[in-house]
Amino acid sequence: MTRGVKHMKTFRNFKNSEDGAAGVVVAILMIGLFISFYALVQAVYVPQWMEQKEAEHMDIVASQFTDIKSSIDILSISEKEYMPISNPVTLGSKEMPFFTTSRAYGTIDLKPNNFTIKLENSEKTATHSLGSLRYSSENAYFVDQEYVYENGALILSQQSRDIIIVEPSIYKTKLDLLKICLVKLSENGRRCSASGYGTYPVQTKFLSKEDISFGSLEKITITSSYKDAWGRYFNDTFSKYYYDFTIANTTDNTGIEIEFTDPDGHYPTVNIEIFEIEVQVSHGWFE
């Protein structure tokens, strides 16, 4: 009887030993399965999620720049000094928790001399340096883009291609007068740029307005980093008004030249409005 009991006890211990080994094997398989699943998600799905996240952030920036244009339009129409309007711009997007991802960054800066326009006729020449406000992204997954406010227009630039997505205020009145509204962006000596991924306010304030009667317009010269977008815009606009004109790149390829070629000498009669807007990219108030 005693030997039988000892034999059963030994058999029972051997069985428990097999159960422990099986548990370890199952745990290892579960860990391996989890690692494989994590690696699959990290390699395939996370880049797609992050690309979508950065694309959505670009849509947010587009909406924010549209708001900035609207604010400048309101300031220009109201002509009220000392009434700054603030609009936020989100520079980047955060990384995704629990996964290995990269954060998106961005830069916004004011370039006071980045856009110039020169108007000419047989009697005089008027040159205006208007500047531009630009946001440029540093995305890790989605294609990099630039959003630019320039002379009342909102421009999207992507992979060396640019297009005006919101047009400036250039139009022909019922009296056959070509009206051109110019928007000059000025810095106030304080911060005019920001980089990173936070949200920064872009504050704008009306400074002054000037009206110029130019008479017959024979030539317009635009200098801009986005000359292709401006070339397409002016071609569409002036074709709609039935002007005879030609558009060509400048000799140094930094802009475009628009020459009116009416054989009867009936060049467009132009009225120019120049609005000066002060820009500050930082927290705090105008001084």
Q: Please give the pLDDT value at position 257.
A: 96
Tell me if 96 is assigned to some domain: yes
Domain-embedded: residue 5? no
* pLDDT higher than threshold 60 for residue 227: yes
56 within some domain: yes
- pTM of this prediction? 0.81
Q: Quote the distance between the C-alpha of residue 271 and its chain's center.
A: 31
Looking at residue 219, what is its pLDDT?
93
Amino acid at 131: G
Confidence of residue 18 (pLDDT cuts 50, 70, 90): low
Residue range 234-250: mean pLDDT, rounded: 90
Other C-beta atoms closer than 10 Å to the C-beta of 21 total 9
Residue 64 domain flag: yes
Query: One-letter amino acid identity for 53?
Result: K
Structural domains in the chain (count):
1
Decide: 186 and 76 in contact? Cβ < 8 Å: no
State pLDDT tens for residues 25-50: 777 777 777 676 666 666 666 678 77
Give pLDDT tens digits for 167-187.
999 998 877 889 999 999 998
Does residue 74 lie within any of the structural domains? Answer: yes
For residues 24, 26, 31, 33, the Cα torsion angle rounded to the nearest 10 degrees is 160
Q: For 99, phi and psi rounded to 5 degrees? A: -130, 160
Q: Per-residue pLDDT for 10 more than 70?
A: no
Which range, 74-83, 257-266, 268-277, is most confident? 268-277
Q: How many residues are present in the chain?
A: 287
What are residue 223's DSSP bridge partners?
A: 116, 255
Contact 200, 279 (CB under 8 A): no
Spatial CB neighbours of 172, under 8 Å, sequence gap ≥ 6 = 178, 179, 241
Domain holding 263, by residue range, is 40-281
**For 264-282, how does the pLDDT look when each residue is reduced to its tens digit (9 = 90+)?**
767 888 899 999 999 999 7
Q: Which of 215, 91, 217, 228 is nearest to 158 (CA)?
A: 228
What residues pair up with 234 in beta bridges, in sequence order? none
Whether the pLDDT of residue 196 is over 70: the answer is yes
Indicate whether 58 pLDDT > 60: yes
Residue 203 has pLDDT above 90, yes or no: yes
How many angstroms separate the CA atoms of 106 and 73, rounded? 25
**For residues 148 and 130, what is the distance between their CA atoms, to the nearest angstrom?**
13
Q: What is the pLDDT of residues 137-153, one digit of tens each?
A: 999 889 999 999 999 99
Does residue 248 lie within any of the structural domains? yes
Residue 84, burial from CB neighbour count under 10 angstroms (0-12, 13-18, 19+) = middle
What tokens appear for 239 in the block?
């074709």
Q: What is the pLDDT of residues 86-132, one digit of tens each?
A: 999 999 876 655 555 677 899 999 998 889 999 998 888 999 999 99
Task: Name the strand (E) or helix (H) holding 251.
Answer: none
Q: What is the pLDDT of residue 32?
A: 72
Is residue 14 very low, low, confident or very high in pLDDT (cuts 50, 70, 90)?
very low
DSSP 3-state of 197: coil
6 belongs to a structural domain: no
Q: What is the CA radius of gyration of the chain?
A: 31
- Tell me, yes or no, whether 172 lies in a domain: yes
Q: How confident is the model at residue 1 (pLDDT cuts 50, 70, 90)?
A: very low
Q: Are strands 255-260 and 132-138 parallel, antiparallel or unpaired?
A: unpaired
